[in-house]
Structure 1
Amino acid sequence: MPYETCGLAEGLEQLAAVAEFGQITLAAQFLGVPQPTLSRSLARLSRDLGTPLLQRDGRGIRLTRHGELLAASGRRALDELLAGVRAVRAEADPDTGTVILGFLHSLGPLVIPALLRGFRSDHPDVAVRLVQDSAGSLLDRIPSGAVDLVLAAPVPVDQRWESRPLAEQPLVLLVPMGHVLVGRGPVRLSQLAGQDLITLASGYGVRTITDRLLRESGVPLRYAFESQEMTTAAGLVAAGLGIAILPPGNEVPGTRQLNLSDAGASRVLSLVWSADRLLSPPVAELRDHLFAHAPEMLRP
């Protein structure tokens, strides 16, 4: 990822780029510097530290163990520094600046564009960067400033962040056409025992909720497939490979969406931000915009 830290941590930016791309040429192109310049800079950093940070690996290069240690710490430091640079720029001109909004994959196709349309109209000079990932991964990035705001579910209580519930969405059961449960009315989770279950990978909010619901219903947590995309999970259902508990609106051809009758078969979508970091004016403006408009748009 490109860093805009005004040259305050040039060596760490360069090492992070090499770690990401695995070669000097692509890292130099990414950073916008000549390849020899980048090579000399990293060699100088190795000399200053008294240990090699890079080593040859066939036609490419890779980080040494010491290089990997520094790159990992460097990424965290760069996130903190970038958050500070963004805050300074926003304070200097609150009508510009950058906001990093993290959200679940399931919100991407329709909800997020609709939510940002009005904000963009009112704040045309504010850049909004979008990050899609699992709820757990997004929440872990809040303390360092790698993301400013997160739309996620579920959100555990944690002193590192503040949150505000926006809307509750019922979860549904997605089954293939012709499944034995079709036409029997709302489904009880206890009826899923013995079924091939499809779910999302660990760390995703829907997976966390699904695990809890099945445990409470006494259904064994034995999954036939785990996916990182709801569209893939729905495709597996359409292929007759199992059934899945998902948010509404994930039907694809060959599937049916059935209601669940169990209490708690829902997810509460919340907006989350840092409890310790002072929000820049653009971040606060987007937070207030989401407070005002997200509840209506997130309701099923």
Structure 2
Amino acid sequence: MSSSRHAEDTKVTVATSGDDGPPAEATELTADAPAALLAPRLAQFAGVARHEHFTRAAEELGVPQPTLSRAVARLEADLGVALLARHGRTVSLTPVGRAFARSVERALAEVARAAETARADADPGVGKVAFGFLHTMGPETMPALIRAFRETHPGVRFALVQSYGEDMIERMRSGELDLCLTSPVPDAPDLVTRRLDEQRLYLVVPADHRLAGRRRVRLAETAEESFVTLEPGYGLRRLTDDLCAQAGFRPRIAFEGEEPETLRGLVAAGLGVALLPPATLARPGVRDLSVTAPRAVREIGVAWMARRPETPPVAAFRRFLLSRRGALTPG
């Protein structure tokens, strides 16, 4: 029999009445049920285990002693083992009870740490914001944004994720991110989005390219060129395909990558041309040309989950981003 099959067949016996009611006939439940049933009684058992005395434990926990006695008795019934040996007014832990008590204390300590972390993350002054942003916004835009925000919120911490749009949206849906800067601005019923800015795209060509001496170019003039682009799924890749379609051709893709600066390196090596946002630092071997037709820009927006409660630091950072409309990105 496999371990997974064994786990499916495991049964435990639990009492179904409340802690303050009379004992009820036991009911068999599958092994995935005990955590929810046992959790309310673990702290009570831990108190009894520390004192090995019901009255002193009841005083510490602030519950009536009979209630505590019944709760521990039902915990033993749920587990099907004796955790305590009764000696009149006092009790002592059985070997199984002592091992169980150590595990319970560790579990309760972990819960306490988790609660403290949750409170700290939500603290308006020192809480945490889980924030996603595009690769192309990492070198300059993001440091400037966080620096400006922390002028008024110096203690707020950030967990930063640098990725592409679709991945960040999925991370928000899973709860890994609070909000993100992305392009294109998504349209989905479970999201709230706001357009913040637009960013020009340039045709990046090798320094010795036939167009390198120009300052402006119509995208149609590159119909016969090889392009280096981001991989399918990236917003900038979709925008490249769309702009080329508007110019009347389908781009011939020579190389695909995951990071815009890598694409600039491929262009510098003479392996193709690319449509990219402005570079933070000048790279030798390439020229950035303005695209006059079609209009080559991408929208930058902020997205967050609809109807998901926000902590104070997340709400403050969202308000800050919305206040930066029209002044978010260079170039």
TM-score (norm 1): 0.68
Where do 1:261-276 residues align within 5 Å? 261-276=292-307
Aligned to 1:95: 125
Q: CA offsets, 1:136-188, max 9 Å, x none?
A: 11122222221111111112311111111111111100000121112344211
Aligned to 1:29: none
Aligned to 1:235: 265
Are 1:142 and 1:161, in contact at CA under 8 Å, matched by a contact in 2? no
Aligned to 1:124: 154
Structure 1 position 106 matched with structure 2 position 136:
yes
Q: 1:187 to 1:86 in 2, by over 3 A?
A: farther
AA of the residue aligned to 2:125: D
Aligned to 2:231: 201
Secondary structure at 2:208's aligned position in 1? coil
Q: 1:295 to 1:210 in 2, by over 3 A?
A: same
CA RMSD of aligned residues (A): 2.7
Aligned to 2:98: none
Aligned to 1:220: 250
User: Unaligned stretches of 5+ in structure 1?
Assistant: 1-42, 52-83
Q: CA offsets, 1:1-49, max 9 Å, x none?
A: xxxxxxxxxxxxxxxxxxxxxxxxxxxxxxxxxxxxxxxxxx9999535
AA of the residue aligned to 1:258: L
Structure 1 position 291 matched with structure 2 position 322:
yes
CA displacement at 1:213 relative to structure 2: 0.8
Q: CA offsets, 1:43-74, max 9 Å, x none?
A: 999953569xxxxxxxxxxxxxxxxxxxxxxx
Structure 1 position 171 matched with structure 2 position 201:
yes
List 4+ stretches of structure 1 deviating above 6 A: 43-46, 84-87
Aligned to 1:188: 218
Are 1:111 and 1:298, in contact at CA under 8 Å, matched by a contact in 2? yes
Aligned to 2:313: 282
CA displacement at 1:294 relative to structure 2: 6.2
User: Higher RCO, 1 or 2 (CA under 8 Å, sep at least 6)?
Assistant: 1
Question: Which of the pair has more CA radius of gyration?
Answer: 2
AA of the residue aligned to 1:181: L
Structure 1 position 48 matched with structure 2 position 7:
yes
CA displacement at 1:205 relative to structure 2: 1.7
AA of the residue aligned to 1:179: H
Q: 1:289 to 1:90 in 2, by over 3 A?
A: farther
Are 1:143 and 1:161, in contact at CA under 8 Å, matched by a contact in 2? no
Aligned to 1:141: 171
User: Unaligned stretches of 5+ in structure 2?
Assistant: 11-113
AA of the residue aligned to 1:167: D
Q: Identity of counterpart residues, as a percentage? A: 42
Q: 1:49 to 1:130 in 2, by over 3 A?
A: farther
AA of the residue aligned to 1:95: G
Q: Using the TM superposition, name which of 260-269 and 182-191 deviates more.
A: 182-191
Q: 1:129 to 1:243 in 2, by over 3 A?
A: same
Q: 1:217 to 1:93 in 2, by over 3 A?
A: same
Are 2:122 and 2:313, in contact at CA under 8 Å, matched by a contact in 1? no
TM-score (norm 2): 0.62
**Selected match of 2:187 from 157, 165, 173:** 157
